[in-house]
Amino acid sequence: MMPQKKSEAAIERECIAYLESYGCAIVKTHDAKHRPVRPGTWDAVGTLPDGRFVAIEFKRPGEELSPEQIQWEYRLPRAALRLIARSLEQVEAWYATVRKWEAK
């Protein structure tokens, strides 16, 4: 029997909990009915413990950004970190790399 793919909501919960366990402040940008505040807005925004801004879009493996999400990405400040998260393992690897860049 093949394992079931995780839902986007399950990926989101796992990844946010992981980042928050390291002191990141992450806020979801959509309401309980999963409607974004503004079309194309990524799923979560926040700050890392050193104050850097991060925008996160959660996707199931194989899913791509919508045209509105791509437009929103271009509107992010140049210094903002971006993450398209498809699994907890990907977020763990991303954050391990980002921690090496933390401001001293």
CATH of the domain at 56: 3.40.1350.10
- For residue 1, being part of any structural domain is answered with no
Kindly state whether residue 103 falls inside one of the protein's structural domains: no
Confirm whether 57 is domain-assigned.
yes
Quote the CA–CA distance of 99 and 81 in Å, as a whole number: 12
CA atoms within 13 Å, Cβ hemisphere of 31 = 5
Higher pLDDT, 5 or 23: 23
Confidence of residue 31 (pLDDT cuts 50, 70, 90): low
Can you give the pTM of this predicted structure?
0.85
Domain span at 36: 8-97
pLDDT of residue 83: 94
16: in domain: yes
